[in-house]
A and B are shown apart, each in its own frame.
Chain A
Amino acid sequence: MLDFVQQLVSGVALGCVYGLIALGFVLVYKATEVVNFAQGDLMMLGGFFAFTFIGMLGLNYWIGFAGAVAAMALFGMLAERVVVRPILGYPQFSIIMATIGLGYFLRSVAGMIWGTDDLKIETPFSQGVLRVGSLVLAYDKLSVIAATMILCTLLWLFFNKTTLGTAMRASSENMLAAYYMGIPVKRVVSVVWAISAAVATCAGVLLAPITFIHSNVGLVLGLKAFPAAVLGGFGSIPGAVVGGVLIGVIESMAGFYLAEGWKDVAPYVVLLAVLLLKPEGLFGLHVRKKV
Chain B
Amino acid sequence: MRFLFKTSYDDDIKLFPHSGYVVSYGILLALLLIAPYVLSSYLMSQLVFVCIYATVGVALLILTGFTGQASLGHAAFLAIGAYTAAYLQKYNVPFPVYFLAAGALTGLIGAMVGFPALRLQGIYLVIATISFALIVEEILARWESVTNGNEGMRVKTLSLLGVPVPRDSPAFYFLCLAVLVLTIVGTLNLLRSPTGRAFVAIRDSETAARSMGVNVALYKVKSFAISAAITGFAGVLFAHKLSFISPEMFTLQLSIEFIIVILIGGTFSLHGAVLGAIFIVMIDPFLTYLKDDMPGIIAGIAATFGAGSATAANVQSKVAAFASLNGLKGAIYGIIIVLFVLFEPLGLYGRWLKIKLFFQLFPLYKRATFKRQKIYVKSERNR
Contact = CB atoms under 8 A, between A and B. Distances in A.
Interface in B29-79: 64, 70
B196 to A, nearest CB: 20
Interface in A95-140: 95-98, 100-109, 111-112, 116
A223 B337 contact: no
A275 B122 CA distance: 13
B380 interface: yes
Given A112-B331, A177-B377, A279-B124, 7 more contacts: A35-B123, A98-B341, A108-B327, A174-B377, A175-B377, A219-B252, A265-B135
18 contacts: A33-B381, A92-B122, A94-B345, A96-B123, A97-B259, A101-B337, A101-B341, A103-B334, A105-B335, A108-B327, A176-B377, A260-B142, A265-B134, A265-B138, A268-B135, A272-B116, A275-B127, A275-B128
Interface string B327-345: 1111101111110011001
A265 B267 CA distance: 31
A226 interface: yes
Contacts of A288: 382
B90 interface: no
A90 B378 CA distance: 10
Given A33-B381, A112-B327, A104 B375 contact: no
A16 B1 CA distance: 63
B331 A105 contact: yes
B337 A104 contact: yes
Contacts of B119: 275-276, 279
B6 interface: no
Interface string A30-59: 000101000000000000000000000000
A91 interface: yes
B330 A89 contact: no
Interface string A161-191: 0000000000001111101000000000000
Contacts of B342: 83, 86-87, 98
Nearest to B126: A96
Contact of A269 (B135, B259, B263, B330): B135
The majority secondary structure among interface residues of chain B is helix
Contacts of B130: 223, 226
A64 interface: no
A227 interface: yes
A271 B127 contact: yes
A287 B122 contact: no
A109 B337 contact: no
Interface size classification for chain B:
35 or more
Nearest to A89: B374
Given A92-B380, A93-B70, A102 B334 contact: yes
Closest 6 CB pairs of A and B: A105-B334, A101-B337, A108-B330, A108-B327, A104-B334, A89-B374
Interface string B135-165: 1001001100000000000000000000000
Contacts of A269: 135
B131 A271 contact: yes
A103 B29 CA distance: 39
The secondary structure that dominates the A interface is: helix
A101 B333 contact: yes
B379 interface: yes
B141 A261 contact: yes
A82 B376 CA distance: 19
B325 interface: yes
Contacts of B267: 93
B242 interface: no
A15 interface: no
B120 interface: yes
A177 B377 CA distance: 8
Contact of A97 (B122, B135, B263, B382): B263
A234 interface: yes
Contacts, number: 150
Contacts of A176: 376-377
A97 B132 contact: no
- The residue in A112, A173, A287 that gathers the most chain B C-beta atoms within 10 A of its C-beta is A112
B117 to A, nearest CB: 9
A44 to B, nearest CB: 13
Contacts of A287: 381-382
Given A105-B335, A109-B331, A261 B124 contact: no
A161 to B, nearest CB: 24
A36 B337 CA distance: 15
B326 interface: yes
A169 B203 CA distance: 29
B345 to A, nearest CB: 6
Interface in A239-291: 260-261, 264-265, 268-269, 271-272, 275-276, 279, 287-289
A268 B325 contact: no
A230 interface: yes
User: Among the interface residues A98, A100, A234, which one has the most CB atoms of the partner chain B within 10 A?
Assistant: A100
A223 B70 contact: no
A108 B334 contact: yes
Given A235-B381, A261-B141, A272-B131, A92 B123 contact: yes
A175 B376 CA distance: 6
Nearest to A263: B138
Interface string B351-376: 00000000000000000000010111
Interface string B227-260: 0000000000000000000000000100010010
Contact of A261 (B132, B138, B336, B381): B138
A106 B341 CA distance: 17
B383 interface: yes
Given A268-B134, A275-B124, A105 B330 contact: yes
B128 A90 contact: no
With a 10 A CB-CB cut-off, give which of A101, A103, A111, A227 has the most chain B CB atoms: A101
Contacts of B374: 88-90
Contacts of A173: 379
A271 B49 CA distance: 34
- Of A94, A102, A105, the most chain B CB neighbours within 10 A belong to A105
